[in-house]
Amino acid sequence: MPPKFQISTPMNTEGSNSSSSLDMAKLTSSLEATEPGKALLHQGSAPSDSLTRVERPCLVGQGSSQRPHGVEISENSSSSLVGQTKPPKWSRSVDPEMDPKKLKRVLANRASAHKSRLKKLEYIEKLEKEVIAHEARISTLAPEVAFKRAQRDMLQQENDDMRRRMEILEKRKADKEAEFTKLKHERDILALTKALHEEGL
């Protein structure tokens, strides 16, 4: 406990100022000797302009609910910061204590599998582009194909008509040949009859 001091008040008015100043000096020195922190605060609390407010930075960690004034930390910002340092998918879940040769082999296998998947995706994309190009070409050639089919049907019908006409003409030819053979036979008979008739005369 701080020591108690008794301040004497003299009766005469002339030495009152000097005695009070001495008593205040003794009180201040005794306070500085016993409690220096309180004395400094007592001395520095009077002038408001001489005080400098120092704010310590507040470290925000897991489980701490205190945050600095004017600073807001959201889950989206923390997740975005974590996502910036995210390793590639094929290099995740690798035990750092694994044998270096085995680790190198595992990483090489994953890299080759990743390249193989990329090549397959590129090949599929190329095939899709070719399919789109062929579909566009088919759509442009479809009217021409329909016209050629109609023309083919028309030519096929003309061919059938010509075949029917050829059959008719061949039949007529056969009839004419039979008639010609008959007439030729009759001519030969008439010529023979005429020759016999002339000899009989």
Q: What is the DSSP string of 2-63?
A: PPP------S-SSSHHHHHHHHHHHHHHHHHHH-HHHHHHHHHSS-STT----PPPPPP-TT
pLDDT in tens, 70-111: 444 444 444 444 444 455 554 456 566 778 888 888 888 989
**Which pLDDT value is given to residue 52?**
41
Average pLDDT, the chain: 71
Neighbours of 54 (CB within 10 A): 5
**Which pLDDT value is given to residue 101?**
83
Distance separating alpha carbons of residues 98 and 104, to the nearest angstrom: 10
**Which pLDDT value is given to residue 93?**
64
pLDDT at 51 > cutoff 80: no
- What are the extents of the domains in the chain? 1-40
Q: What is the pTM of this model?
A: 0.34
Distance separating alpha carbons of residues 42 and 30, to the nearest angstrom: 13
